[in-house]
Structure 1
Amino acid sequence: MLEAQTADGAIPWFEGGPWDPWNHGECVMALFVGGEQAAARQGLEALAARQGRDGAWLGEYGNVLPMSDRMHLAREPAPAFRDTNFAAYCAVVVWHAFVITGEVALARRYWPMVREAIAFVVRLQHPTGDISWSEEAHGSDADDAVRAGCGSIYKSLECALRLADLVGEPQPAWAAAKARLGEALRARPERFDRSLDRSAFAMDWYYPVLGGAIGGAAAQARLDADWSRFVAPGLGCRCVHDQPWATVAESCELAITLVSVGRRQAAADLLAWQDAHRDAEGAYWMGWQFEEAILWPEERPSWTQAAAILAHDALFEWSPAARVLTQHL
């Protein structure tokens, strides 16, 4: 992450790679956990500086980049959108930074960024509770809601509400938006994947639990229902259920999810399996293609390192913010 961070504090996926505010924010959180305070604070400044006047960010979709060869992602511009999940996540980042540092002044400094970002997101919520994946799609033929993104937004709204109370600016409309979104995630399946079925992706499986929208017995049942579909024993979590590719980031996020529902041993096992996917310096590769038995692609994204750090923090409670991602309102 430090090697990827640019002079203005931005943290792209890798040197010369795409940048988006969600993965950048995840890296800022991991830097705080790792004690890299200067770099983390610079990252917060970069996040605020790149915010648009509408409260959103233009975030690049690195996941749609082509391969430059069989083993590497292309270093070229990626499509960029005003993604609602990308925008909302700054609330988690700022709340996490406050819990780490205990600095109310830090929370107040970045509160305007969070306030404008959440206002942008809530504007794109439908009466049915679901939130459009981007401003560009809202109200168009491409309008749709994504379970993973909305599950993440649900957590972001929780952290935004915590910040609002901390700075003395309660936001009851956000609380109502969070309640509607949670109801949609739990009981309005027809509002998701209207244009594309994403049920093959692991993130759509575990994110409603990770974000806190689904808890208790329902969360346990959801994880059990598709466990064998997504988890390859001894390897990790498949990114896509029918592909022989276990990815470190999804495995780490699933581990955080497991900690949040009390399955600590299963989380520990998942994290231990990821040790096989590290380089000589300890950095994590993106994933393991287990039919060919190769690390693939040969990339070590900054956000993969961040996910691993945050997952270990959630399990072993290294930092004061260890429970930010695992405890919910």
Structure 2
Amino acid sequence: MNRPLPEVPGLLDAQQVGATGAAIAAMQEPSGALPWFPGGKTDPWDHIESAMALSVTGFIDEARAAYRWSACTQRPDGSWPIEFQQGRVVDANIDSNFCAYIAVGVWHHHLVTGDSGFLAAMWPTVRAAIDLVCRFQRDDGAFRWAADAQTSAMFDEALLTGNASIGHSLDCAVQIAEAVAADGCATRWSAAQGRLARAFSVAFSDVGGTANGVVPGVFAEPSSHSMDWYYPVLGGAVRDERAHALIDRRWDEFVVEGKGIRCIDHRPWVTGAETSELALAMEALGRIDEATTLIDDIGHLRDPDGSYWTGLVYADGKRWPVEKSCWTSAAVVLAVDAISRASAGNGVFRDIRQALPVR
């Protein structure tokens, strides 16, 4: 079935977005893995983001191959190593957010294609992954960020961006469980999502009264990276007036007019993926014009083949790192899809169901 490709008139047309999808597909390894760039590393989270863009741009077989890779490389405990390189495990440790994100990708592919057989085939992978991730949840509702693969010892620190992404993953996982009639999983995971919502309700209880909008004590101190600024909005942790306040209070620190957003608040370096993810967050808040402008601003990162360079050090006009990353191209595709509302999965970020905090 031919599906319409995303396009934003005057910004990117369908043919250009299709070329970006083709550039992502060209980076795929025979195993189905989607590395950062040809010959580079593959991590379970960015692999999924790239697979999502393949689904949107009509590379359905390639997307299925990517999800088969995830299913085949999942370990018996439900986890994935943090990093692979051309089929070899480079970092065997466990990142809870990396493991959770499979649910977002699987639910998104189902939304795009309507393929219930795919959903059923991937259900064991999703179930094992989310059950594993739930073991990382602390008593206060936040999720520990990582564990040592050899000892299974968890690092107690809870990261803001990772938890916001896990909240999104849990929402998608619950919807998958409901779709396959796995009521027990849906109930357990909904409860975990509610406990995480409680942690966020504490962390964002005083947006206007703290330097960065986050009350200390639950999550690790937000870093200088832009992800800790916008991801609570993108992941659905906050979507009310607090979300607008969070975005507005640091807009001028990160957004460089005409170039994109800084990856790190004090460095003259803009990156395409972070800019596109902020655009997704803005679109979810209904701020469509700002989202569109952000994607327009990173046009300077677009290569003639449709792929996107990772970033630009605008102080000296040099691209850095000197790579066209798979996941940067993917983030652009997902943002354009959300803005244009082209695919049936265009609302996977916008339509996150916010759980009620569990007291």
Letter in 2 for 1:282: G
- Whether 1:219 aligns to 2:243 is yes
Letter in 2 for 1:29: M
Which residue in 2 is equivalent to 1:173? 188
- Aligned 1:22-33 pairs, distance under 5 A: 22-33=45-56
- Aligned 1:223-242 pairs, distance under 5 A: 223-242=247-266
Helix, strand or coil at the partner of 2:42: coil
Letter in 2 for 1:230: F
Higher mean C-alpha displacement, 135-144 vs 34-43:
135-144
Whether the 8 Å CA contact 2:226–2:265 is kept in 1: the answer is yes
Q: RMSD over aligned Cα, in angstroms?
A: 1.9
Distance 1:27 1:167 in 2: 25
Whether the 8 Å CA contact 1:133–1:144 is kept in 2: the answer is yes
Superposed structure 1 runs of 4+ greater than 4 Å apart: 137-142
Q: Name stretches of at least 5 consecutive residues in structure 1 with no aligned partner.
A: 63-75
Which residue in 2 is equivalent to 1:154? 167
Distance 1:241 1:61 in 2: 29
Letter in 2 for 1:186: S
Whether the 8 Å CA contact 1:29–1:97 is kept in 2: the answer is yes
Whether the 8 Å CA contact 1:18–1:77 is kept in 2: the answer is no
Letter in 1 for 2:32: G
Of residues 118, 121, 126 in structure 1, which corresponds to 2:133? Answer: 121
Helix, strand or coil at the partner of 2:49: helix
Q: CA deviation at 1:191?
A: 2.2
Of residues 240, 250, 254 in structure 1, which corresponds to 2:278? Answer: 254
Distance 1:263 1:81 in 2: 38
Whether the 8 Å CA contact 2:34–2:66 is kept in 1: the answer is yes
Helix, strand or coil at the partner of 2:76: coil
Question: What are the Cα deviations for residues 227-279 of structure 1, in whole angstroms up to 9, with x where unaligned?
Answer: 11111111111111001101000000000000000110000000001111112
Whether the 8 Å CA contact 2:36–2:325 is kept in 1: the answer is yes
Whether the 8 Å CA contact 2:45–2:98 is kept in 1: the answer is yes
Whether the 8 Å CA contact 2:146–2:155 is kept in 1: the answer is no
Which residue in 2 is equivalent to 1:82? 94
Q: CA deviation at 1:106?
A: 1.2
- Whether 1:144 aligns to 2:173 is no
TM-score (norm 2): 0.84
Whether the 8 Å CA contact 2:158–2:218 is kept in 1: the answer is yes
Q: CA deviation at 1:6?
A: 1.1
Higher mean C-alpha displacement, 300-309 vs 132-141:
132-141
Higher mean C-alpha displacement, 2-11 vs 161-170:
2-11
Q: CA deviation at 1:81?
A: 2.3
Which residue in 2 is equivalent to 1:44? 67
Question: What are the Cα deviations for residues 108-157 of structure 1, in whole angstroms up to 9, with x where unaligned?
Answer: 11011111100000011000011011122999694311111110000000
Distance 1:224 1:110 in 2: 39
How many percent of aligned residue pairs carry the same amino acid? Answer: 39
Letter in 1 for 2:83: E
Which residue in 2 is equivalent to 1:190? 217
Q: CA deviation at 1:186?
A: 3.2
Distance 1:80 1:179 in 2: 30
Question: What are the Cα deviations for residues 168-225 of structure 1, in whole angstroms up to 9, with x where unaligned?
Answer: 01221211111111221231431211xxx44211111111110111111011111111
Higher mean C-alpha displacement, 254-263 vs 199-208:
199-208
Letter in 1 for 2:323: E
Which residue in 2 is equivalent to 1:11? 34
Helix, strand or coil at the partner of 1:225: helix
Structure-2 change in CA distance of 1:28 and 1:176 (3 Å): same
Structure-2 change in CA distance of 1:302 and 1:259 (3 Å): same
Distance 2:270 2:342 in 1: 26
Whether the 8 Å CA contact 2:110–2:118 is kept in 1: the answer is yes
Structure-2 change in CA distance of 1:120 and 1:284 (3 Å): same
Whether the 8 Å CA contact 1:285–1:299 is kept in 2: the answer is yes
